[in-house]
C-alpha cells in the first residue's frame, strides 16, 4: 500500500500493517508535513534491511506485534 499519512494511520491503528518501507530522499519539504498522523498506539518497528539507490535510501521495517 502506498498512501498519505491519514490512510497509513488508519491501517496501523487497525493492526493491518506487517511491514513498512520508508524511502528517504534528500529534499527538505518543511511546513510540518507529517509522515504519520493520528497514530493511536505506539508501534514498535524492527529494521530488517536498508537499500541505497543513488541518492535515495529505503528503510525496510517489520512491525512488531
Q: Taking 90 as the threshold, does the pLDDT of residue 7 lie above it? A: no
> What local confidence, expressed as pLDDT, does residue 61 receive?
97
Domain ranges for the chain, please list them: 5-28+41-63
* This prediction's pTM: 0.81
> What local confidence, expressed as pLDDT, does residue 8 receive?
87
Q: Taking 80 as the threshold, does the pLDDT of residue 1 lie above it? A: no
Q: pLDDT digit string (tens) for 8-56? A: 889 999 999 999 999 998 888 777 777 788 888 889 999 999 999 999 9
> What local confidence, expressed as pLDDT, does residue 47 receive?
98
Ordered DSSP codes for 2-34: ---HHHHHHHHHTT--SEEEEEE-S----TT--
Amino acid at each position: 500500500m502506498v498512501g498519505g499519512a491519514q490512510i497509513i494511520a488508519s491501517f496501523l491503528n487497525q493492526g493491518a500493517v506487517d511491514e513498512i518501507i520508508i524511502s528517504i530522499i534528500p529534499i527538505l519539504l518543511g511546513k510540518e508535513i507529517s509522515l504519520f498522523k493520528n497514530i493511536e498506539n505506539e508501534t514498535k518497528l524492527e529494521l530488517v534491511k536498508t537499500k541505497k539507490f543513488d541518492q535515495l535510501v529505503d528503510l525496510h521495517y517489520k512491525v512488531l506485534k
